[in-house]
Amino acid sequence: MGILKNWDITLEELDEILATRPSLRGILMGFIAEYKLSQFWFKDERISDLIRYDNHDRTSLGDFGFIYKQETISVQVKSLQTNSIRQTASGLEGVFQCDASDKRRVTLPDGQEIETTCLVVGGFDLLAVNIFQFEKKWKFAFAKNADLPRTRSRKYKPDQRQYLLATLIRITWPLQPPFSDEPFSILDSIVEERK
């Protein structure tokens, strides 16, 4: 309770602040998701040298990095948007935002440079999506970067779109491909491809 005491705020006051400020809830949920993800999945003995990248370091490709079977892996973490969730005949579906927080200049695999908020295909290895909001339980969905949908935005040329990930991606519960409820089969696939 060190921070709350330092700030002279009670748990009840903090609860009220969070209840009335959705954007603050979203930021906090993102950081909690990163913490839970590392606790649930990245403490596994198959993973070593886990590092949490600085949010302000634009050169880091992802939120986490670690070594898996002697390969360096980068992980991008995203969260399901609460207001997008809807019931379907087969379960639940929603969307998550899969983009950069601000527009920046990127170099595409073919050498073109563009300004975009889109994430680049191959810019990180593994996507972890916080899907807590589906069942109010800490669960994650995992996908390989290369298997994610591409942008359809007309502001990019067709030859550029193939290198840019969609900024809003649909996800279902129960999960459907390319999403998995565990990361290790995807990590094995990434390692195998690199060989």
User: 150-187: per-residue pLDDT in tens?
Assistant: 999 999 999 999 999 999 999 999 999 999 999 999 99
Nearest to 187 by CA among 79, 45, 67: 67
**Predicted local confidence at residue 60, as pLDDT:** 61
Look at residue 190 and tell me whether its pLDDT is greater than 70: yes
What is the band of 47 on the pLDDT scale with cuts at 50, 70, 90? Answer: very high
**Predicted local confidence at residue 62, as pLDDT:** 83
Cα 130–chain centre separation: 7
Question: Taking residues 69-95, what's their average pLDDT?
Answer: 95
136 φ/ψ sector (left φ>0, alpha ψ -120 to 50, else beta):
left
Tokens matching residue 164 = 């840019």
**Predicted local confidence at residue 58, as pLDDT:** 58
**Predicted local confidence at residue 89, as pLDDT:** 95
Q: Count Cα neighbours of 144 within 13 Å in the Cβ-side half-sphere.
A: 14
Token pair 């590092």 in the structure block, residue: 51
**Residue type, position 64, single letter:** F
**Residue type, position 139, single letter:** K
Q: Which residues neighbour 176 within 8 Å (Cβ) at sequence distance 6 or greater?
A: none
Q: What is the C-alpha to C-alpha distance for residues 136 and 120, in angstroms, rounded to an integer?
A: 31
**Predicted local confidence at residue 26, as pLDDT:** 87
Look at residue 1 and tell me whether its pLDDT is greater than 90: no
In angstroms, the Cα distances linking 113 to 105, 107, 109, 125, 150 are 7, 4, 9, 21, 17
**Predicted local confidence at residue 101, as pLDDT:** 82
